C-alpha cells in the first residue's frame, strides 16, 4: 500500500471521528499550518509530532471526544503502511539551509 | 560618489566575495548544488561591487565607463544564481517559479543590452525606459528572496517550537530574508541617486551614504547567516524562538 501521507491521515481521521471528509481534511490542514508545515512534502516524523502535539487541540476545538486517543490511533496506523513521502518541502529546505552553515 | 563613501561599497564587496568564496569552498567539499549556486552569486556580486568602486577611488580617465560596464554585466550574471538558488530551494516543484526566473533574467538582459546599445553603458540614465526594465529585474529578484526568506522563517519558527527545526536554521532563513529586503532598499535608493547623477553628473552625498549603509548591512547579514561566530549560534540556540510554550503540551 502506498499513498499520499496527508490523504492517509485525513482518511483515518474521518474514519475515527464524526467529522466529514471536508472537515477532517480542513482540520488536519489547520494543524499542519499551525506547525509551520504543508501537506506537500510532509514527512512521517513531522506528522507524528503534529498528531501528538497539535492535532488533539484542533480536534477538541471541534468537539471531538477522545481527541488524543484518535490521534494515537492514526499515529499507530502509520507504522503499518508504506507511505510515499514527496521529496520537496520544508524538511528539504531545512536540510539545505543547515548544510549552508557548513555543518 | 562623494568623498570616500565608495570605500563602504568596496568593503561590502569584499565581505560578499569572502562569504561567496567560503561557500564555494564548502561546495567543493560537499559537492552540493545549492552551495555552489549561492557561492557563485555572492562571489560575483562581490566582484561587481569592486568594478563599480575602483573607478570611483581615483582618476581612471577613460576606464571609468568600461570598468562600470563590466561591474554591471557581472552583477546581472550574479542575479541568475540568486534566482536559481531561490527557486531550487523554495519552489523547485512549481512551474511559475521557473517562469519568474526566466522573465526577470530576460528583463535584465534586455534592459542592459538595449540601454548599452543606446549609449548608456553605465546604466545610470533613469530617463530611459530600458533602465526601468533592468531595475525591475535587479529589484524584484531580491524582493522574491526577501519574501521567501521571511515566509520560511515564519513557518520554521513554528517548527522550532515542536523540535522539528533547528533554531539556527530558522535564524538563517530570517537573515537571508533580511538580506533580500536590504537589497531592495538599496535598489530604491538608487532611483534618486541615479536621477541626481543624470542631472549633475554627481552622486549626492545623502543617497550615496544610504546606499553604502544598506550594502554593508546586507553583506554583513550574509556573513552572519552562513558563517556566524560560535557565540551567536549559541545565543540563537539558547534563547531564540522557543519562548512560547508548545501547543498541546
pLDDT at residue B201 in the model: 78
Domain count, chain A: 1
Q: Quick check: A54 and B227 CB within 8 A? A: no
Q: CA of B54: how far to CAs of B11, B60, B100, in Å?
A: 12, 8, 33
pTM for this predicted structure: 0.89
Q: A47 to chain B: nearest residue by CA?
A: B164
Q: Quick check: B32 and A99 CB within 8 A? A: yes
Using one digit for the tens of pLDDT, what is the confidence trace for B64-115? 899 999 999 999 999 999 999 999 999 998 999 999 999 999 999 999 999 9
pLDDT grade for B215, boundaries at 50, 70 and 90: very high
pLDDT at residue A83 in the model: 66
Across the interface, which of B23, B93, B156 has its CB nearest the CB of A88? B93
Pull the grid cell for residue B217: 548591512
Q: Could you give the ipTM of this predicted complex?
A: 0.88
Using one digit for the tens of pLDDT, what is the confidence trace for B111-170? 999 999 999 999 999 999 999 999 999 999 999 999 999 999 999 999 999 999 999 999
Highest mean pLDDT among A36-50, B51-65, B138-152, B197-211: B138-152
Q: Whole domain around residue A62: which residue ranges?
A: 2-99
Q: CA of B182: how far to CAs of B149, B164, B175, in Å?
A: 12, 29, 10
Q: CA of B55: how far to CAs of B27, B71, B132, in Å?
A: 32, 10, 24
Pull the grid cell for residue A5: 501521507
A2 SS3 class: strand
pLDDT grade for B245, boundaries at 50, 70 and 90: very low
What distance, in Å, lies between the first and last C-alpha atoms of chain A? 36
**B72 CA to centre of own chain:** 14
B242 contact A CB<8A: no
Chain A residues within an 8 Å CB radius of B155 = 36-37, 90
pLDDT at residue A35 in the model: 96
Using one digit for the tens of pLDDT, what is the confidence trace for A64-99? 989 999 999 999 988 877 766 554 456 689 999 999
Decide: residue A88, CB within 10 A, 0-12 exposed, 13-18 middle, 19+ buried.
Answer: middle
Compare B2 and A83 and report the one with higher pLDDT. A83
Q: CA of B170: how far to CAs of B20, B145, B165, B223, in Å?
A: 21, 15, 7, 16
What is the total residue count of chain B? 249
Amino acid at each position: 500500500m502506498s499513498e499520499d501521507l496527508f490523504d492517509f491521515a485525513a482518511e483515518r481521521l474521518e474514519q475515527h471521528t464524526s467529522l466529514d471528509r471536508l472537515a477532517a481534511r480542513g482540520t488536519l490542514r489547520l494543524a499542519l499550518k499551525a506547525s509551520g508545515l504543508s501537506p506537500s512534502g510532509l514527512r512521517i516524523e513531522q506528522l507524528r509530532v503534529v498528531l501528538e502535539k497539535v492535532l488533539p487541540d484542533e480536534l477538541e476545538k471541534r468537539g471531538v471526544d477522545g481527541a488524543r486517543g484518535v490521534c494515537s490511533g492514526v499515529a499507530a496506523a502509520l507504522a503499518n503502511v508504506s507511505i510515499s513521502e514527496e521529496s520537496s518541502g520544508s524538511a528539504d529546505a531545512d536540510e539545505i539551509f543547515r548544510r549552508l552553515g557548513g555543518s | 560618489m562623494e568623498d570616500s563613501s565608495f570605500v563602504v561599497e568596496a568593503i561590502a564587496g569584499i565581505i560578499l566575495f569572502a562569504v561567496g568564496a567560503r561557500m564555494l569552498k564548502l561546495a567543493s567539499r560537499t559537492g552540493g548544488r545549492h552551495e555552489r549556486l549561492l557561492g557563485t552569486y555572492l562571489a560575483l556580486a562581490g566582484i561587481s561591487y569592486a568594478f563599480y568602486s575602483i573607478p570611483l577611488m581615483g582618476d581612471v580617465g577613460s576606464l571609468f565607463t568600461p570598468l562600470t560596464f563590466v561591474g554591471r554585466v557581472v552583477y546581472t550574471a550574479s542575479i541568475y544564481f540568486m534566482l536559481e538558488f531561490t527557486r531550487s530551494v523554495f519552489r523547485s516543484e512549481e512551474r511559475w517559479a521557473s517562469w519568474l526566473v526566466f522573465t526577470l533574467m530576460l528583463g535584465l538582459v534586455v534592459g542592459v543590452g538595449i540601454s548599452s546599445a543606446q549609449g548608456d553603458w553605465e546604466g545610470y540614465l533613469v530617463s530611459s525606459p530600458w533602465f526601468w526594465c533592468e531595475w525591475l529585474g535587479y529589484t524584484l529578484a531580491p524582493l522574491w528572496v526577501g519574501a521567501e526568506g521571511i515566509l520560511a522563517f515564519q513557518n520554521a519558527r513554528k517548527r522550532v517550537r515542536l523540535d522539528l527545526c533547528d533554531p539556527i536554521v530558522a535564524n538563517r532563513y530570517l537573515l537571508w530574508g533580511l538580506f533580500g529586503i536590504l537589497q531592495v532598499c538599496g535598489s530604491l535608493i538608487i532611483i534618486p541617486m541615479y536621477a541626481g547623477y543624470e542631472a549633475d553628473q554627481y552622486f549626492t552625498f545623502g543617497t550615496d551614504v544610504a546606499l553604502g549603509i544598506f550594502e554593508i548591512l546586507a553583506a554583513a547579514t550574509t556573513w552572519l547567516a552562513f558563517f556566524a561566530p560560535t557565540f551567536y549560534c549559541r545565543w540563537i540556540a539558547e534563547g531564540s524562538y522557543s519562548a512560547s510554550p508548545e501547543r498541546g503540551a
